[in-house]
Structure 1
Amino acid sequence: MSTDLPPGTAGAMEAFLLGQEPTLTRVEVAERAGVPLDLAVTLWHQLGFPHRGDDDVAFAEGDVEALRLSADLVELGILPPESQAALVRTWGRSYARLAEWQTGLLASLVLAGPDGDRDPADQLTTLTADVLPRVEALQTYVWRRHLASAAQHLLDDAGSLARAEAELAVCFVDIVGYTTRSRSLDGAELVAWVDRFEQDTTTLVVDHGGQVIKTIGDEVLFTVDDPAAALDVALALTARGADDDDPFPAVRAGVAHGPVVRRLGDVFGSTVNAAARLTSAARPGSVLVDAGVHDAMADDGDDTPWRFRRVRRVQAKGFSHLEAWRVRARPADG
């Protein structure tokens, strides 16, 4: 099946996805929205939209309404100058990655489909027409569910409204030997391997009341309120990685507990840095924790399901002295 698209297909597809034919320039959009052109251009740049000249007819009526809504959020203080750029960039990057994945998936379905004699542009349009409304509705549902969950956390801890920091356990889980293993896998195998790691890790984190902050290829960063839950997750994952019959990769982990700054879905601060340094220092299949985790568990004495062993000082950039303990699950017989 030929993958060459007829002239004008890209424009037709853009109009189909936007729901409107582009008939406006960026100057006309800004004028109709009642927004200064420099603000409009700044917002579009931060969202990661392609650059357009003043005379390029590349916008539709929907862009006018979107720009009005953006200006309303600025006026309401939802997009204040000091955080506007970071928030809008986060939106842009998130949706750009999602759109890239979705269009790639649709294209792969067209190329793999049985209708070899049909124009691929027609196939893509038909498939998109069937899929897009469902994906759009599902995305809204997922967003609202996460919004409800975040709001519940906020109501459970009303004092967090006045705090810039939160006390959290922060954990990095890192695949051991990722570079070597990745060289022996083709593209599809590597994707499947990493997908399994991310999916299984995310499932375990969520089941323990945690939140995956981000995945970085061979590494997952997550947070959870309770350091005990973080230990449960880290030890469960390292145990799976040590099982030769389990396809889950060998991993190591570092856990720290303390004040964390949360911003735009990410986390920052010394506690996060400590968890990262501990992970780098951990041996394959092991879990290292900082004094924050150790002290939080110390009150339980021998009643804890773990054993802590002090390790030598961890050499960590940015820390003059990073105390660390290696943690193992206590045998069932004590």
Structure 2
Amino acid sequence: MGSDEPDAARALGALVLGEEPSLTRVEVAERAGVPLDLAVTLWHQLGFPHRADDDVAFVEGDVEALRLATELVRIGILSPESQAALVRTWGRSYARLAEWQTSLLAGLAAEGGGPATGPAGPTGLTGLAGDVLPRVEALQSYVWRRHLASAAEHLLDDGSALTAAESRLSVCFVDIVGYTTQSRSLDGPELVRWVDGFEQETTALVVDHGGQVIKTIGDEVLFTVADPAAAVHVALGLTARGADEDDPFPAVRAGVAHGSVVRRLGDVFGSTVNAAARLTSAARPGSVLVDAGVHEALTGGEGSTGEDETMPWRFRRARRIPAKGFSNLEAWRVRTADPG
């Protein structure tokens, strides 16, 4: 490592943090008026690396952040019970985002591209970050506020969500067929582009139908939507694209369940989620399986065959599926009705 690289790395850290580190963790806790053990617990939950008591690795921003966290607890916005889970969620989310952004900047710096030019390595990265960081920070704040407004709108639309811990939602998993085999035939950049395309196209369709992508897990996307008809539209639309040999979208299968769902920190839990996952794993390539909740909601009753000619779908009962927590999960295959 060249002698100037540690200095450049420190300059980059100071640029990102807003100042040169000048405080130890003991001094940060003292200035914030917070017990040191609580401060250390918060930093660990955020995923920050361990620091010794005499390591000068903190800035005034750390003091203010610690004060804000304890104030949220004090005024009752952030309860002690939910503090650990929320802080861990923040830490995981921002750690992934920061890793991706740093890799992106490092690649641009190595290529000598971007708004600032310079040699590859920390020096070039520092110059590039100086141009990019303020813009990214402002954009992240905008995206967060837009999502906050959208989440508030959904919450107010669903009056029961204001007082109940559970909501009635349709949950859908969309799974790439043959992912393991296909991933072996692609190099790293090709695999990234392939998965990115799957996630991007799926997200766009979900959002267009009023849904929310909960998470992506490589070869799988989990989304929720209030309307089971919208969930089926999305699932059938994606499987149709996957069946089109001229469409680069991968072959997929999907499972949809409708019922009570527990929402917590951006994730969803409960038997409805488990049913959707099990339906997906049991679905044939290119097909969509739905549970009794979806079938009843879309056909108008438990005894319906789903063969109403005015409906845009056709249902066929499938074999009951063995599933943990269920006494044989009822399932129906759903397809788009033939035009006629």
TM-score by length of 1: 0.96
8 A contact 1:258–1:292 mirrored in 2: yes
Indicate yes or no: 2:201 matched with 1:194.
Answer: no
Name 1:29's counterpart in structure 2: 28
Structure 1, unaligned runs of 5 or more: none
Indicate yes or no: 2:309 matched with 1:308.
Answer: no
Aligned identity (percent) is 76
8 A contact 1:3–1:120 mirrored in 2: no
| Displacement of 1:116 | 8.8
Indicate yes or no: 2:181 matched with 1:180.
Answer: yes
| Displacement of 1:177 | 0.2
| Displacement of 1:181 | 0.3
Name 1:291's counterpart in structure 2: 292
SS in 1 for 2:256: strand
| Displacement of 1:246 | 0.4
CA RMSD of aligned residues (A): 1.7
1:109-138 alpha-carbon deviations (Å, 9 max, x no partner): 111226997363332111111110100000
SS in 2 for 1:154: helix
1:301-330 alpha-carbon deviations (Å, 9 max, x no partner): 432200000011112233221000000100
| Matching residue's letter, 2:250 | P
Indicate yes or no: 2:320 matched with 1:321.
Answer: no
Which range moves more in the overlay, 31-40 or 299-308? Answer: 299-308
Name 2:167's counterpart in structure 1: 166
8 A contact 1:291–1:323 mirrored in 2: yes
- Using a 3 Å threshold, how does the CA distance of structure 1 residues 258 and 5 change in structure 2: closer, same or farther? farther
The CA distance in 1 between the partners of 2:26 and 2:225, in whole Å, is 47
Indicate yes or no: 2:102 matched with 1:95.
Answer: no
Name 2:238's counterpart in structure 1: 237
The CA distance in 1 between the partners of 2:158 and 2:231, in whole Å, is 20
8 A contact 1:47–1:92 mirrored in 2: yes
8 A contact 1:305–1:330 mirrored in 2: yes
8 A contact 1:29–1:63 mirrored in 2: yes
The CA distance in 1 between the partners of 2:179 and 2:144, in whole Å, is 32
Which range moves more in the overlay, 217-226 or 4-13? Answer: 4-13
Which range moves more in the overlay, 307-316 or 229-238? Answer: 307-316
- Using a 3 Å threshold, how does the CA distance of structure 1 residues 294 and 80 change in structure 2: closer, same or farther? same
Indicate yes or no: 2:9 matched with 1:10.
Answer: yes
SS in 2 for 1:222: strand
Name 2:221's counterpart in structure 1: 220
The CA distance in 1 between the partners of 2:188 and 2:319, in whole Å, is 40
- Using a 3 Å threshold, how does the CA distance of structure 1 residues 4 and 238 change in structure 2: closer, same or farther? farther
| Matching residue's letter, 1:243 | D
1:159-187 alpha-carbon deviations (Å, 9 max, x no partner): 32111110000000000000000000000
The CA distance in 1 between the partners of 2:122 and 2:4, in whole Å, is 6
8 A contact 2:8–2:123 mirrored in 1: no
Name 1:256's counterpart in structure 2: 257
1:6-49 alpha-carbon deviations (Å, 9 max, x no partner): 23322221111101111111011000001111111111111111
Within 5 Å, give how 1:70-109 maps onto structure 2.
70-109=69-108
Structure 2, unaligned runs of 5 or more: 301-305
- Using a 3 Å threshold, how does the CA distance of structure 1 residues 55 and 200 change in structure 2: closer, same or farther? same
The CA distance in 2 between the partners of 1:18 and 1:278, in whole Å, is 47
The CA distance in 1 between the partners of 2:117 and 2:14, in whole Å, is 25
- Using a 3 Å threshold, how does the CA distance of structure 1 residues 247 and 33 change in structure 2: closer, same or farther? same
SS in 1 for 2:150: helix
The CA distance in 1 between the partners of 2:142 and 2:202, in whole Å, is 23
- Using a 3 Å threshold, how does the CA distance of structure 1 residues 117 and 17 change in structure 2: closer, same or farther? closer
SS in 1 for 2:167: strand
